[in-house]
Amino acid sequence: MHWKTAAGKQYLFRTRDRHGYGKSLGPRSAETEKTLDHFHKNKAEAKGREAALRRRLAEQARYCKAARVARVPRLSAALGRELWRAGLEDAVMIVGTNALYAYEAACGVQILSAGRLETQDIDLLLDSRRSLELIVPETRRGGLIGILRKIDKSFTVMDKANFRAVNDRGFMVDLIRPMPKPPWKKQPDMVGKKADLKAADVQHLDWYLSAPKLRQIVIGEDGFPAPFTVPDPRVFALHKLWLSKQLGRDPLKKPKDREQAFLVAALVKRYLPQKKFSKPELRMLPREVAQLADELVDHARAEAKSNIPSGFEPSDRR
């Protein structure tokens, strides 16, 4: 807010963007001078509050690092923050191994086995039903690759696999979406530059989109928080177990799929009892997939019994 001279008179002008667009609040007078003074006072107070909050946030970040709460890789955490800033948290989900960070944070535990969380990539699931919501200023100007380059300028879209972006350290970001029904049906791409990521169609990802999302704050390796939107942990576990049983699945990936399925199911049974592995709550899944819940629950019960002192029995929360 500032004075602007036009035709020999001064007017109080409120600028709304860096291009100088704004609105006149009237000619200079005692009233507009009072308005300007009030604006400067409020602006100074707001800057003071922001500075105090930034100092407090930095203190908390140092504590999180000292207490070893800082878990999520820097790039993954930064991407979660940038998706939130761009307003894409309802249109894009973080899936794959990185989702385990959200599940452990929701349960208040840490997954100690490094092999369960070690990953050099992150998968983003695009909800095609919300494609119109992607037409926001951040995405329209630079697309998803523009958001990635805010985090690391070395990100580029791979030529032959244009659903994948990679940086100079080999960290990969894949954009995927459910296979359309029928498969030959054309789907809209994200609104952005021609060189932007194009989502790859993958079968059965509609299971994730048909279930409730989980929104969870996680802590990055730098100690700062990041919002993650991930699939429902029950659907994640069932999908992973189903994948481990498919003949066409990469044999090297099957053991990890199975391990992650049992791990997440055990977390749900022990720490998220409000989420039931019951048929009514899994009705969004095909019957043959929902029936795998019995195997997950039985395994979780057996593991729970082996981890409690003799004489105690785990409560049946199913």
Can you give the pLDDT at residue 20? 80
Written as tens digits, the pLDDT of the chain (318 aa) is 999 998 899 999 999 887 888 999 999 999 999 999 999 999 999 999 999 999 999 999 999 999 999 999 999 999 999 999 988 888 899 998 999 999 999 999 998 865 567 777 888 888 766 543 343 444 545 678 889 999 999 999 988 888 899 999 999 999 988 887 766 566 655 545 556 788 888 888 999 999 999 999 999 999 999 999 999 999 999 999 999 999 999 999 999 999 999 999 999 999 999 999 999 999 999 999 999 999 999 998 888 776 655 555 554 444
Q: What is the pTM of this model?
A: 0.81
Question: What DSSP assignment string belongs to the chain?
Answer: -EEEEETTEEEEEEE-STT--EEEEEESSHHHHHHHHHHHHHHHHHHHHHHHHHHHHHHHHHHHHHTT---B-HHHHHHHHHHHHTT-TTTEEEEGGGHHHHHHHHHT-----HHHH--SEEEEEE-GGGGGGG-SHHHHHHHHHHHHHHH-TT-EE-SS-TTEEE-TT--EEEEEEEPPSSTT---PPPSS-TTS--PEEETTTHHHHHSPPEEEEEEBTTS-EEEEEE--HHHHHHHHHHHHT-TTS-TTTHHHHHHHHHHHHHHHHHH-TTS---TGGGTTS-HHHHTTHHHHHHHHHHHHHHTS-TT-------
Can you give the pLDDT at residue 159? 83
